[in-house]
Amino acid sequence: MWCGVYDIQWSCCDLFLLAIHVHAIVRFKLNRCDATMIASRYALQSIVRHCRVTAAGNVRWLSQALVYSKFGAPEDVLEIQQMDVPSVGEGDVKMKVLASPVNPSDINVIQGLYPLSPRLPAVGGNEVVGMVTEVGSTVTSLKPGDHVIAGQPGLGTWRDTVVCQYDKLLAVPVELPVHLAATLMVNPATAYRMMSDFVQLGEGDTVIQNGANSGVGQAVIQLAAVRKINTINIIRNRSNVDQMKEYLISLGATEVITEEDNSKRDIKSLYQRYSPARLGLNTVGGDSATNVMRQLTPQAVLVTYGGMSRKPVMLPTVRVVMSTLVHFWLIGVSDIQRD
């Protein structure tokens, strides 16, 4: 089919083409060659969208991307643009984007509120899973058909096609579901490092975290459950709070309570059912962080890895003196391991 020759992106138009191709075989009992001829006229639409012919007769391949030229609210500054797809250099890899998630940090970058700011104009997005379609002459670790994820931030992944150096990518099993592969690099890695780097945790230990329904929070719950570590998970109150509690319990959460519950005096009775917590994880800040700290042992570690409330972490002086307060930022500690 044309898609195999011209490396057409599987957009809605291409899926429509595939549906026509299959329908022609099944409905009219055509052979594959005839069905392809019937469907090929629709492929022209994809070719027109993804390439341009210059005055000199050269073909320029294009990629659709979400681009911003100034910082601000995403709904105000993001635009869909067509961008040239760079040629593949000897150490480069070209991949077709299969999925790219939206993280809170992606929004913060676009707003200009993140510690690292890209040069403008920039393409949004950091995490991605893609399929390799072409490799440079010196690339031996990857081949067309492989699935890869971003091993470093800043690729600008909200686009059809990405071309980058091979060492900015990590191979993942093709069998790994796309939605899991696309979200593998940031949240699970953050959860794993925070549970491993600061306190030696063992079976029966207890971890307290706010923002427990976040991507990191859900990863913490599952990693802790595997290691038989108790988790006391704090979430905001909401209309579907009971459903959220049931969902987190199904992931392996030991206890799920609301922010309001955690601010009450009698909540101590719940914490006393478990071993004293030596690790707290804070992604909210403000009063929520203070209330987490109150339930930790005096020599515990409170790890702050986010500030979704945009309020400062305020703690009693005795806690500041006796406890360990650290911050965690995955970008600041990540080293790509390729073994």
Known catalytic residues are 114
DSSP letter for each residue of 1-62: -HHHHHT----HHHHHHHHHHHHHHHHH---HHHHHHHHHHHHHHHHHHHEEE-TTS-EEEE
- What span, in angstroms and rounded, lies between the C-alpha atoms of 229 and 3? 49
Instruction: Between 312 and 44, name the one with better pLDDT.
Output: 312
Placement of tokens 């957009």 in the chain? 11
Name the residue among 175, 178, 122 with its Cα closest to residue 149. Answer: 178
Report the b/e string of 46-67 with b at 16+ CB within 10 A: beebbeeeeeeeeeebbbbbbb
Q: Residue 160's pLDDT is what?
A: 92
Residue 232 confidence (pLDDT): 98
Reported as a pLDDT band with limits 50, 70 and 90, residue 159 is very high
Q: Tell me the per-residue pLDDT of 276-285, one tens digit each, with 9 for 90 and over.
A: 999 999 999 8
> Which one is predicted more confidently, 7 or 169?
169
Whether 6 and 47 have beta carbons less than 8 Å apart is answered as: yes
Q: What is residue 310's predicted lDDT score, i.e. its pLDDT? A: 74
Residues 6+ apart with CB under 8 A from 142: 93, 132, 135, 148, 166, 169, 171
Contact assessment for residue 154 and residue 118, using Cβ atoms and an 8 Å cutoff:
yes
Edge to edge, the sheet with strand 324-327 lists 255-258, 230-235, 206-210, 277-282, 296-304, 324-327
**What is the strand order of the sheet 92-99 is part of?**
161-165, 92-99, 129-135, 147-150, 169-172
Residue 20 binned pLDDT confidence (cut-offs 50, 70, 90): very low
Per residue in 223-265, pLDDT (tens digit) is 999 999 999 999 999 999 999 999 999 999 999 999 999 999 8
CB 93 within 8 A of CB 166: yes
pLDDT at 298: 85
Cis peptide before 121 (omega within 30 of 0): yes
Please give the C-alpha separations between residue 181 and each of 71, 168, 299, in angstroms, as whole numbers.
Answer: 29, 16, 37
* The pLDDT of residue 287 is above 80: yes
- Residue 203's pLDDT is 96
Q: What's the CA gap between 336 and 303, in Å, rounded?
A: 23
132 against 47, higher pLDDT: 132
Compute the average pLDDT of residues 76-94: 92
pLDDT computed for residue 114 by the predictor: 81
The CA distances from residue 301 to 102, 140, 157, 177, 266, in Å, are 30, 44, 35, 35, 23
Judge contact between 305 and 325, C-beta under 8 A.
Answer: no
**H/E stretch holding 97:** strand 92-99
Least confidently predicted of 21-25, 312-316, 320-324:
21-25
Q: Measure the CA–CA gap between 217 and 251, rounded to whole angstroms.
A: 11
The pair of three-digit structure tokens given for residue 61, joined into one six-digit string: 């391949």
Burial 73-93 (b: 16+ CB within 10 A, else e): eeeebbeebbbebeebeeebb
Angle at 6 between CA 8 and CA 79, to 5 degrees: 35
Note the pLDDT of residue 43: 41
Mean pLDDT on 31-39: 43
The size of the chain, in residues, is 339
What number is the average pLDDT over the span 64-82?
93
Q: Tell me what pLDDT residue 117 has.
A: 84
Percent of the chain residues past pLDDT 90, beyond the cut: 58
Is residue 322 within 8 Å of residue 300, measured between CB atoms?
no
pTM comes to: 0.73
Mean residue pLDDT of the chain comes to: 81
pLDDT tens digits along 186-235? 899 999 999 999 999 999 999 999 999 999 999 999 999 999 999 999 99
Say whether pLDDT at 82 is over 60: yes
> Could you tell me if 99 and 127 are in contact, meaning their C-beta atoms sit under 8 angstroms apart?
no
Contact of 270 with 255, CB cutoff 8 Å: yes
What pLDDT, on the 0 to 100 scale, is given for residue 44? 40
Which DSSP symbol is given to 284? S
Helix, strand and coil content of the chain, in percent to the nearest 5, comes to 35, 25, 40
* Residue 338 CB neighbours (<10 A): 8
What is the spatial distance between Cα 35 and Cα 25, in angstroms, rounded to a whole number? Answer: 6
